[in-house]
Structure 1
Amino acid sequence: MPVVSVSMPEELLERLDAHASAHEYSGRSEVVRESTRSLLEAFEDDRFEEGPLAGTVAVRYDFGTPSIERRVAELRHEFDDAVAANDHSHVADCCLDLFVLEAEVDAISSFVEKLRAIEDVERVDYSLVPLNGRDRSTDG
């Protein structure tokens, strides 16, 4: 198996090690492999192949980081056709952007992944609901 080197903050590495230990993983690599599979499969759900979805996306990052805020705003404009609503709030010492999207799975997936790729974005969470009459949803 190829070896991959990954850089991460010390605090995240400590959390990774604690998670591996608490859940009896053989080590960091096993946790990273499982996490990678989950990330790559997040939008591979048959329920989402047949029509538009409603999605909510929450993005958290440090307050006072205009470069992140600017990049999030740029993505909002890039996905203007998909974004039905959005709100920017300050919660504790963080910025929290909330988005409501209406689009096909590929557009929502691309939006979420581009948000996650912004350096120093702390967290991106989403929830999807099919708009084709099915009543199932998923969170990620």
Structure 2
Amino acid sequence: MMRISMSLPKKLLNEFDDVLKDRGYNSRSNGIRDALKDYIIRYQWMKEIEGDRMGVVSVIYDPHYTDVLGNIMDIQHSFLEEINATMHIHMSDKNCLEVIVVKGDANQIRDLTEQLMRLNGVEHVKLTTTVSTEKNK
């Protein structure tokens, strides 16, 4: 085993500890290992999607974070061919949800998703896709 140390905001650590307690974990280390495994599996799944896809990108962000909304809009404008629709929802005073309906090449959809994930002020991004099929006319 390798030993690492990390710095986390107190609120995030408290929320993580609450989840560990609810799920019956005996140690943070086990919870962190499982969380990292889940993160890697989700990344590998996203990396392996290919072909023509249709799906939804869900983005939770802090609208008060400097330039986050402008940055989200700039990224969306870079993917006009893949974005079919968007919906903006106010979750609370501190969080908004952007729902982006996408259709197109998996590589482009993955690039859109990863660019959103890297933004400061973005709390969570989730991509859900399925194979895009066209019915014969």
Same fold, judged at TM 0.5 (above): yes
CA contact (8 A) 1:43 1:109 kept: no
Shift of 1:126: 3.2
- Matches of 1:60 and 1:108, distance apart in 2: 17
1:22–1:88 Cα change, 3 Å: closer
Quote the residue 1:108 is aligned against: 109
1:6–1:81 Cα change, 3 Å: farther
Query: What residue ranges of structure 2 are gaps of 5+ in the alignment?
Result: none
Shift of 1:57: 1.4
Give the length in aligned residue pairs: 132
CA contact (8 A) 1:51 1:132 kept: no
Please give the residue correspondences for 1:1-140 in structure 2 after superposition, counting only pairs within 5 Å. Answer: 1-42=1-42, 44-45=44-45, 49=49, 51-93=51-93, 94-132=95-133
CA contact (8 A) 2:55 2:129 kept: yes
1:132–1:124 Cα change, 3 Å: same
Query: What residue ranges of structure 1 are gaps of 5+ in the alignment?
Result: 134-140
Deviating 4+ runs (over 4 angstroms): none
Shift of 1:58: 1.8
- Percent of pairs with identical residues: 25
One-letter amino acid matched to 1:4: I
TM-score (norm 2): 0.74
CA displacement, residues 21-64 of structure 1 (integer Å, 9 cap, x when unaligned): 3323342222222222222222545xx75631111112122233
TM-score (norm 1): 0.73
1:76–1:6 Cα change, 3 Å: farther
CA contact (8 A) 1:84 1:101 kept: yes
Look up the SS of the partner of 1:42 in the other structure.
helix
1:15–1:91 Cα change, 3 Å: closer
Quote the residue 1:136 is aligned against: none
Question: C-alpha root-mean-square deviation of aligned residues, in Å?
Answer: 2.7
